[in-house]
Structures are given as structure tokens and as C-alpha cells.
Structure 1
Amino acid sequence: MSSATTDPHPEPATSSRSRGLVLVVEDEPAIADVIRLNLTKAGYGVHIERRGDTVLAAVARLRPAAIVLDVALPGEDGISICRSLRAGDDWTPVIFVTARDDEVDRIVGLELGADDYVTKPFSPRELVARLGGVLRRTHGVPDATPQTVGAVTLDDVRRRVFTGSDEVALTVTEFDLLAHLMHKPGRVFTREQLLSAVWGYSSVAGTRTVDVHIAQLRSKLGQASPIRTVRGVGYAAEHRAAPS
């Protein structure tokens, strides 16, 4: 890897141990520097890559706690990178950064397994908050008792989900959304409640994010999915899911 694509100012190792190392993939130096500054202030270690075609090697080498990934990059775009990570069974949390407020782009990214997204221009504090939310969900205090609803079993300690004896690979956000529903079976949650509880924020356009993740969960869980749509209200996990 050439020095032109590698972070020329790596943070001290103590910084990366405090809250984890974040791989920032951004080709615009000014934006990369702002992200670096704010993440460093928040206690994260930061490594920056400028090109998309260097990211997979960097992930394999650094094993970051999370990836902040621009969608439009030289070499390889962020959507392709995320697709390659998930296809390789790498579920490192990914937050997309996109230059356009384009719902289609956001939905495609979420369907590929991204955990969240921000749209340029964005508040650096918002990005730090979103990242913190994803990582808290990843490293939060787990429930020691596996939860079973219908044919689906969710193990909080190992962060694993099974349909019968088959394990289902989920992103951080998919897992936490399913866990929130399964830990209170039968309770109906509105989209706004799910967005607040799982993502940690509210947004006018955010409820569509919930729908996309629910669709992804149903696709992965297949006929075993316990998720029921309560039309005009929201979603619930039930022992016998009704068609919706």
C-alpha cells in the first residue's frame, strides 16, 4: 500500500485502546480531518484510507471496531466494499457517508448490511453519536438467558441467532432490532419507538430505515420469522407470526 493511501498521521496506540479503532474511508482530506479530529476527541483511535481499493486489506490488517465509509470513492465504491465485507462474513459495524440525500442510495446500503448512515453535509457530533450508538449496542451488557420466540432463538451473550439448529448471520443493527422485539414478545412497537430504542435517534426519514431492516430480518429468518406487522401501528414479535 502506498503512503498516499495510508493515514499519514496515525493516532497513538493508547487512543485506539480506549474506545476502539475506527477505520475512516474518505477521499476528501478536509472531511477526513474533521472526522479524525472529532473521533479522536471522543476517545477513538483513527486510521484513514483515501481509496476504496485499499479498504479490504486495511480491515484485515487492523480489525477495526467500526468503519465510517464514504459511498463515492476512487478505486472502489462504498456499496461494493460493504457487499464484499458481508459476503466474506465480516460483520464489522459500517456507517455509510453519502453525498446525496437519496433514499434509494440509503436503502441499498442498508440492505447490503450497513448499520447506519449520515448524509453530507453532516454534523461531526451527530456522526460521533451515531457511532457511539452502534458500538454500545455491540458491546452492551447482554441478557444471559437466551430468548426464544417461535422457532427463533436469540443468544445475547454470544450475539447469535438460530432458527432451529441453523445459525443466521445478522448485522449489529439487525440483531439489536430483533432482540428489542423478542425480549418483549407480543408487545407492539411503533416505528418511532424502534428507531429511538435501537438506533438512539429520531428522524423524519428514519422510519423507512426501520422498514428496511425489518424486511431484511424477515428475508434472513424465512418462514421462522416471528415478526408481525400491525398495520398503521408498527411491529411485534409473536410466537406464531401472522401473514402480513
Structure 2
Amino acid sequence: MGNAASPSLSGYRILIVEDEPEIAEILFSFLTREEARCMVVRDGGAVREALWRWHPQLVLLDMKLPKRNGWSVLADLRETHPDLPVMVISALGDDVDKLSGFRLGCDDYVVKPFNPLEIVARASVLLRRGHVAAPIIATSHGALRIDRGGFRAFYGDRLLDLTRVEFLLLDALVNVQGRVVSRGFLIETALDGDAFDRSVDPHISRLRQKLASVAGAQVTIAAVHGEGYRLDVVG
């Protein structure tokens, strides 16, 4: 439950981009205590897919990240999601670093080490400024429709009989509208990250069979060598 020191963050989706497990765990713990819904990604290269898949309403962004640094991620966020609040949380505490962050468009800049309660309070302020996108409950791609509120998927007016994992896989594929989704991201979102690289393949195979039973060749899941999977929808 929210405490007296700060408004509740109940229901808000917060993306934590942090490669240090201890810091990510502290942020996750304090924010979920305020009833926020949190997702953690460990490198800058995973941010784009997380945005497509999860539609966060606030991003907490470290600067020193593997694969793609936080400066690059921040510049990309300001181009593609100009109204999405971004709080930088970084060990880079020099004035020049802070100025660079604000020039690139961050909404707040906190230097490590930090007080977790301060992060909660600052997050509350950013989320209540009025520029936060409303939650996306339903997504469609052609005749496929995802109802996240009801945890259901439809082809036309036909309800698909999917397991939890199959629903999450289809949700991720539908949400990116024909782009390729990596195996790693599918494992993180549908299998809770507790799996090896090829463990998603049997679930994709069963999902293909269920889609074919209602849509025939109109809906297919293509394997893209070395990259992942892509959902193709005709009509």
C-alpha cells in the first residue's frame, strides 16, 4: 500500500533500465510497494522492444548500460516517445553530465547513491504532470485482437484457446505490428526469463497450430534466422 510520505503509484507501469541487479531490485521493491507495476531490463538494447511490448508510463534510466548506453537510449526516447517521462538515475554526477541529460530531454536526474523514497516521490510528481499516456488495454493486427484486460485473444469473433504463455507470446507479436521479436525478449516477457534460448520454440509451435486452426494461412509466425520471430497477418 502507498505510505503517507508519497501518493500511491497504483497501476502505473514503470520501466526500470538498470544493469546492476542490486539497484534494480531496490527500485523494483520500493516502487511495487507503492503498487506500481514494474518491468526491469538489463541493457539499453532491450528498451525498444520493452516500449512496444509493455507501454510504460515512466522510464527510470541508468546511463552506463551494456549494448547501448543511456545517452543513446534517451535520445531515441525523445524522438519516438516525446511525452513519456524519463528519470535518469546515474552515477555520473558532474554538472556537465546533468546538463547533457536535460539537453537530451530527461525530465529528472538523480545521482547515485540515492534514497529510494526520494525516487518514489519524484516518480509520483512526474506521473501526475498530465502527460502520461493512458493504458493500452486492447491491440489489434488485422483480424487478430488482444484483450489484455480480459487476458483473451480473438481472430475475428472467434476466441482462441490459449495457455498463459501462448497468450503472452501472441500479445508480444501482435503489439509490434510485423516487426521481429527476439527470442530473448519473448523469454523475458512470456517465460519470466527463467529459460534457455530455444525453450520458447515449442510454445511458438503450438501457437502456430492454434492460429492455423482458426485462420489458416492468413496468420503465420515466421522464424527469422538469428533474430527471432515475426507475426505475418494477411488482411
Which of 109, 116, 126 matches 1:124? 116
Equivalent residue, structure 1, for 2:50: 58
Which of 5, 16, 19 matches 1:27? 19
Distance 1:79 1:86 in 2: 11
**SS state at 1:24 partner:** strand
Equivalent residue, structure 1, for 2:98: 106
Q: Which amino acid aligns with 2:19?
A: D
C-alpha deviations, 1:10-69, integer Å up to 9, x for none? xxxxxxx93311000000000000000000011100000001111011112111010000
Greater shift in the superposed pair: 85-94 or 62-71: 85-94
Distance 1:99 1:138 in 2: 29
Q: Which amino acid aligns with 2:123?
A: L
Equivalent residue, structure 1, for 2:63: 71
Distance 1:78 1:57 in 2: 15
Equivalent residue, structure 2, for 1:137: 129
Please say if residues 16 and 40 of structure 2, whose CA atoms lie closer than 8 Å, have aligned partners that are also in contact: yes
| Superposed displacement of residue 89, structure 1 | 4.4
For the aligned residues, what is the CA RMSD? 1.7
Distance 1:61 1:130 in 2: 25
| Superposed displacement of residue 138, structure 1 | 2.2
Which of 36, 43, 46 matches 2:38? 46
Greater shift in the superposed pair: 131-140 or 65-74: 131-140
| Superposed displacement of residue 85, structure 1 | 1.5
Please say if residues 85 and 91 of structure 1, whose CA atoms lie closer than 8 Å, have aligned partners that are also in contact: no
| Superposed displacement of residue 87, structure 1 | 1.9
Distance 1:80 1:74 in 2: 12
**SS state at 2:128 partner:** helix
Q: Number of matched residues?
A: 124
| Superposed displacement of residue 139, structure 1 | 6.1
C-alpha deviations, 1:90-120, integer Å up to 9, x for none? 4210000110321111111111110001100
Q: Which amino acid aligns with 1:131?
A: A
Equivalent residue, structure 1, for 2:72: 80
* Structure 1: gaps spanning 5 or more residues: 1-16, 141-244
Between the two proteins, what is the percent identity of the paired residues?
40
Distance 1:85 1:101 in 2: 21
Structure 1 residues 59 and 90, CA, compared in 2 at 3 Å: closer, same or farther? farther
Structure 1 residues 139 and 82, CA, compared in 2 at 3 Å: closer, same or farther? closer
Distance 1:74 1:61 in 2: 21
